[in-house]
Chain A
């Protein structure tokens, strides 16, 4: 079945540095991918909608200059956390919607744990 892969699954970075998380749809094309953030024992908060070939649409309260999203191809979206701070430590999850012929289902990546020290 359709699979969405995230990399890295875990990353530790120093305050002030930037870190990139990749999200790939492995066997289907995704014109739209979604980035979520999950705090411990809480639900998923939608951060932005990533559209292939155009700028991402950010949810209210999400800093677009801090969370850079690029959707370079129909199978790859990246989230870059710039100038990371400890409060950016979280679990980041991407998802992608398969097209109608593939069931129109939304699939999630395995998630990426970011720890900023």
Chain B
């Protein structure tokens, strides 16, 4: 079956520290991979995505590379800010067909202090 596993949080960092949030997946076929961010009390916002192996998604200083050989899509940022404090969800879409829902990891809470 399809599943997503994220590192458990919370992750607590100081401002300007390097961030890695690990995400691995299990899927049949060739899924698309996503990172979503949820700020307190809000819905989910798409952070970045990758649709095929070796693609790198990037946005707002965050990056993640689709690694088929390790079935991973780790999220990284070189220098975090207090405003990055949020919950981050790794997700996969088993296919790009219209009726396919996303499968989410459990989420990782990031807390950045100044």
Binding site for B on A (CB under 8 A): 6, 31-32, 34, 41-44, 46, 49, 51, 93, 95, 97, 99-100, 104-111, 113
Contacts and interface: CB of A to CB of B under 8 A. Distances in A.
Contacts of B42: 110-111
Interface of A is mostly: strand
Contact of A107 (B46, B99, B107, B109): B46
Contacts of A43: 89, 104-107
A97 B93 CA distance: 11
A43 B43 CA distance: 12
Given A44-B89, A110-B43, A95 B98 contact: no
Given A105-B46, A110-B42, A32 B107 contact: no
Contact of A31 (B98, B106, B109): B98
Nearest to B45: A108
Contacts of A109: 43
Interface string B33-51: 0101000011111100100
A109 B103 CA distance: 17
Contacts of A99: 98
Given A106-B93, A107-B46, A108-B36, A32 B104 contact: no
- Nearest first, the 4 closest Cβ-Cβ pairs linking A and B are A111-B43, A108-B44, A110-B43, A43-B106
A104 B96 contact: yes
Contacts, number: 52
Contacts of B93: 106
Interface in B86-100: 89, 93, 96, 98-100
A42 B89 CA distance: 10
Given A44-B44, A108-B46, A111-B42, 5 more contacts: A49-B101, A97-B100, A105-B46, A105-B49, A109-B43
B98 A44 contact: no
Nearest to B87: A41
A53 B96 CA distance: 21
29 contacts: A6-B43, A32-B98, A32-B99, A34-B101, A34-B102, A41-B109, A42-B106, A43-B89, A43-B104, A43-B105, A43-B107, A44-B104, A46-B101, A46-B102, A51-B99, A93-B44, A95-B102, A100-B96, A105-B46, A105-B49, A106-B34, A106-B46, A106-B102, A107-B46, A108-B43, A109-B43, A110-B42, A111-B43, A113-B41
